[in-house]
A and B are shown apart, each in its own frame.
Chain A
Amino acid sequence: MFEKIFFLLCLSTALAEQLCRPEASDGYRVRLSIKTALGDEAYVWNDNEMFLFRATLAFAMRNQISGQEFEVSNIIVCDETPRVSFWFVVTSPQNTSQLVDKESVEEAVRKSRNRINSAFLLTDKTLEFIGIPPTLAAPVNPDTPPWLIVFGLVMGAVGAGIIVLLASSVVQKKRKNDEKPDDEEIDEETRVKTVENSAASEGIYNRSFSDDERFTHM
């Protein structure tokens, strides 16, 4: 009897090994980078962690294919490396020598990726399923682009400034116009006086000075 049990055990392991090969058509390679993700708080990868992985994957398969009760024994793992990477295949619970097809496994992993990641405190980058690209996070796109808001503020401030400046210059002009009739009489007198003075001294009339006035009058 012991011989029979022994024989069956050997057979099942042999079968399992045949089902799980690296580069098998229905399996995926998994790679974990625990030290990169967790640094000092990294846990050691041992058989218990492997058991958790197989259980999580069985959970993912159960979510994907309703009705079939996947067990830990349905997830077969091989080719472990010290890197912490290994190959796994999923066998069907109804027929343990038949593998579940690649697409279903991919779907299952995709759906439950978040749960699998959080079981191991890892992220999409540090728990890689080679061949199953993670769904990328969409870039943050606010409804009103913030630059329009800032632009509106700046233009509003500038526009208000322009209106204030123009209004103040108009007001200044009005004040000047009121004062002008008085100034013009005073100017007339001084001009008469300067003409008389210059006629007396007979200096060279510096044309450029009067030209200057015309050009820079604001």
Chain B
Amino acid sequence: MRLVLPNPGLDLRIPNYEDLNRMDKEEANDRPKWDNKAQYILTCVGFCIGLGNVWRFPYLCQSHGGGAFLIPYLILLVLEGMPLLLLEFAIGQRLRKGSVGVWRAISPYLTGIGIASMLVSFLVGLYYNTLIAWIMWYLFNSFQSPLPWSQCPLNDNGTEFVPECQQSSTIDYYFYRVTLNSSASIADSGGIHWPIVVCLLAAWTVVAICCIRGISTSGKAVYVTAILPYIVLGIFLIRGLTLKGALSGIKFLFTPDVDELVKPTTWLDAGAQVFYAFSIAWGGLISFSSYNPVHNNCMQDAVILTAITGFTSVYAATVTYSIIGFRATEKYDGCISENIMTLLNAFGLPEDNITASNYETELNHLNSSYPDTVLGLDIKTCDMHKLLSEGVEGTGLAFIVFTEAITKMPGSPAWSVLFFIMLLCLGISTLFGNIEGVVVPLKDLNMFPKKWPQEALTGTTCVVAFIISILFAQQSGLYWVTLFDNFAGSVPLLTIGLFELIAVVHIYGIDRFNEDLEFMIGHKPSIFWQISWRFISPLIILVILVFYLVTQAQEELTYLVWDPNSVEFPTLASVPYPSWINAVIFFLAGVPSLAVPVYALYRLIFSCCRKKKCIQKKNEPNL
């Protein structure tokens, strides 16, 4: 499709090839630069590899057919993720501006894409840093033995544990009550929980100091934050494989169920995961690429980054499921021992009669001989499969499943510290890209006075973001974080990605883009890239977007709450959202998505009015 919309004045807005070569040689301008290529690659890797790789991908992999899920994931990684990645890299490197600057240079009507990217980066950054704050809280509390989440507090009498803790578990109680002090609904704000405010302050100051001078400081920090997670994952892999039951977890993860490949939801989830995994449409990648030298081989970078992302996802999934397998085996063994004890106590048999190996046969024997007694004992069925699949997504994985597994390992405080430092590094390196995607557009939109140095810009952004994120320090903060996660980081990104593809292919012109790539890296992109930019990637994104909107519109919106008074306690209760939440959802998802057409419309009206005034002024002297 060679449909290119008319775009007058494009050559006036962008530097031509001679200017680019001159800029490259002179290095005279004040635009920041990478110290070396490794810094750039590590920053991009850190940005792309985030918390989602550890706690979203393994869950998707296991719930959509295990090893079979890798097939749609890797296919869509190459067909959907890699072309968009190269697109953002190349356009940033060519036009040498941040996200707002790039889209404004292509066409002033498209500035909305940059504004949408900035809004999405800001909203996602708010709740992402709250997750970092929770991770910091757990990290700070890991420097003690025994770990605080392995014990229940006593009630006032000192005779029993607190009932909420007794009914659920020490880990659940610590997360929902001690850390978050969760209320029972999103409408019930309950007041500010000050430990979280303190941790939010720590999180925002750490991010501020790392990003304070843009990439000259964050580029140094990224050597630690991008490499440390891999080392820690390696340590956990070795530790995990030596634990009992690890292999059952890995087997559970990778057992392929080929029937899942036929279901469309599998492909949709794989597509969505690829999209979010690459942090596309946040604007940070465009900014980072614009600091590269002009003739940097961005095609090679895109392929390398894709390979690293795919490898890391599988690597993290293996480690995660080895630990999950260990925890499930421990719980299963505990369940069996408890049942054995109950049977021994009820029938007065000596301790050696029933062991784990003959448990099944003995149970059947007793059930057939004394069915009433056995029924009265209320023996729980120990289901390994259920234990392997519970609580393995999102915050539940990190703060409940993993923390429980760590309490069962010898030397728990050390493992806990390592684990939370790894999560901290994963999260902070993503936030570097986030802050870049917010500060640079604000600068380009002239929202700040020109005299302000870079430090002041980053500092102001972080202070404002900290004040707004106190919303998440309320007692209902957990539900707000989930809301933001579901709506701010889903539909807007898909729409922005789609607009980006359309803008570059049809408004900037795919031919011009190919020539630019030839100028920058020495050869035109092959037929694979042409087809994917023009047909495959936009089609995939459109399909995912449509399906997502259709399914969301049909479902009633519900969320999970921690309610000690509910019937299903300690399982989280599913409760419908209050009606005013629709306004919030519109703000989170609708405003960034609509920023593109709304801004284009505003610009159109504005320029029409200006033309009319110009014509009026031209006519006036004649009168």
Contact = CB atoms under 8 A, between A and B. Distances in A.
B348 A213 contact: no
A166 B209 CA distance: 10
A65 interface: no
Contacts of A31: 345
A150 B158 contact: no
A140 interface: yes
B12 A207 contact: yes
A149 B341 CA distance: 43
Contact of B205 (A139, A158, A213): A158
A212 B345 contact: no
A209 B455 contact: no
B152 interface: yes
Contacts of B19: 206, 209
A107 to B, nearest CB: 14
A200 interface: no
Contacts of A151: 140, 198-199, 202
A216 B202 CA distance: 30
A181 interface: no
B144 A142 contact: yes
B45 to A, nearest CB: 24
Interface in B212-247: 212-213, 217
Interface in A191-218: 204, 206-209, 212-218
Interface residues of A, number: 44
Interface in A146-185: 146-151, 154-155, 158-159, 161-162, 165-166, 169
Nearest to A29: B345
B313 to A, nearest CB: 30
Nearest to A169: B455
B154 A35 contact: no
B143 A147 contact: yes
A186 interface: no
Interface stretch (A48-56, A66-74, A78-86, A94-102): A78-86
Interface stretch (B86-94, B123-131, B349-357, B364-372): B349-357
A126 to B, nearest CB: 10
A206 B105 CA distance: 13
A137 to B, nearest CB: 9
A85 B348 contact: yes
A34 B350 CA distance: 10
Contacts of A147: 137, 140-141, 143
A208 B32 CA distance: 18
Contact of B29 (A83, A85, A213): A213
Nearest to B23: A209
Nearest to B100: A215
A83 B137 contact: no
Given A83-B348, A146-B144, A209-B19, A215 B209 contact: no
B208 interface: yes
Interface string B451-464: 00111000000000
Nearest to A142: B144
B13 interface: yes
A212 B205 contact: no
A25 interface: no
B205 A33 contact: no
A57 B454 CA distance: 78
B352 A135 contact: no
A12 interface: no
Contacts of B199: 151
B16 interface: yes
Contacts of A136: 154, 158-161
B15 A146 contact: no
B455 A208 contact: no
Nearest to A203: B18
Number of contact residues on B: which range applies?
35 or more
B66 to A, nearest CB: 37
Interface string B98-137: 0001000100000000000000000000000000000011
B146 A208 contact: no
Contacts of B209: 158, 161-162, 165
Nearest to A173: B453
Contacts of A149: 143
Contacts of A81: 348-349
Given A82-B350, A166-B455, A216-B29, A208 B105 contact: yes
A217 B158 contact: no
Contacts of B206: 154, 158
Among A150, A206, A215, max chain B CB count under 10 A is at A215
Nearest to B199: A151
A83 B345 contact: yes
Contacts of B443: 215
Contact of A83 (B160, B351, B444): B351
A140 B148 CA distance: 8
A138 interface: yes
A215 B13 CA distance: 14
Contacts of B31: 212, 216
A186 B199 CA distance: 51
Contacts of A162: 205, 208-209, 212
A215 B154 contact: no
Contacts of B208: 162
Among A136, A166, A204, A213, max chain B CB count under 10 A is at A136
Interface in A9-57: 31, 33-36
A129 to B, nearest CB: 14
B97 interface: yes
A64 B151 CA distance: 32
A165 B217 contact: yes
A204 B19 CA distance: 12
Contacts of A148: 140
22 contacts: A83-B351, A84-B351, A136-B161, A138-B158, A146-B143, A146-B144, A147-B143, A148-B140, A151-B198, A155-B205, A162-B209, A165-B209, A165-B217, A166-B455, A206-B15, A206-B16, A208-B13, A209-B15, A212-B31, A212-B96, A213-B29, A218-B30
Given A81-B348, A155-B202, 4 more contacts: A148-B140, A149-B143, A212-B29, A213-B30
Closest 9 CB pairs of A and B: A81-B348, A147-B140, A139-B151, A82-B350, A35-B351, A150-B140, A83-B348, A146-B144, A147-B141
Interface of A: 31, 33-36, 81-85, 133, 135-136, 138-140, 142, 146-151, 154-155, 158-159, 161-162, 165-166, 169, 204, 206-209, 212-218
